[in-house]
Amino acid sequence: MAASTSPLQVFEQSLSTVIRLLEEREGDVALRCGHDLPPASWSLLEHLHARGTLRVSQIAACLGVDISSITPRLKALEGSGLIARRRDPSDGRVHLIAITETGSQAVHGLHQARCELLEGLTGDLAPGQISDAAAVLAHVARRLDDQRPHV
């Protein structure tokens, strides 16, 4: 007899599936908001939108990647006018990266497109069910963010 699946296991498996399926649709969602960026670039742009102006080394550390792997994405985002690079006034050798107004509008458009997608998928649920799910996911997101190394 197979062991029963706990609610936490169902939560984890469902969350994993939702993340995977949303990532598969990220290209379509991104096109709906007018910017054809790869998922990793969207993630980087969302990170800057949430965290504000950062050094390249801070961005790489927060995302757990090497600076050399983040630099091409930054250059592409800068070329698209979604981020701006400037010298750090306290250390001219260092660049600070900030999201531009165009970048902020792109992130807003991405979130709006995701909301439209999710609305179509959850329209048959009661508003209380959506509120409960949102509260649980917001709690998990806060806890994960609290545990991440802040550089």
Which residues span the domain enclosing 126? 16-147
Q: Is residue 5 part of a domain?
A: no
Total domains, the chain: 1
H/E/C letters for each residue in 56-93? HHHHHHHHCCCHHHHHHHHHHHHHCCCEEEEEECCEEE
Are 95 and 87 a contacting pair, CB within 8 Å? yes
What's the pLDDT tens digit per position in 38-64?
Answer: 888 888 999 899 999 999 989 988 888
Select, from the ranges 13-22, 35-44, 77-86, 112-121, the one with the highest average predicted confidence (pLDDT).
77-86
| The pLDDT of residue 33 is above 70 | yes
Asked whether residue 85 is domain-assigned, the answer is yes
Does any domain span residue 7? no
**CATH number of the structural domain spanning residue 88:** 1.10.10.10
Is 10 a domain residue? no
pTM for the full model?
A: 0.82
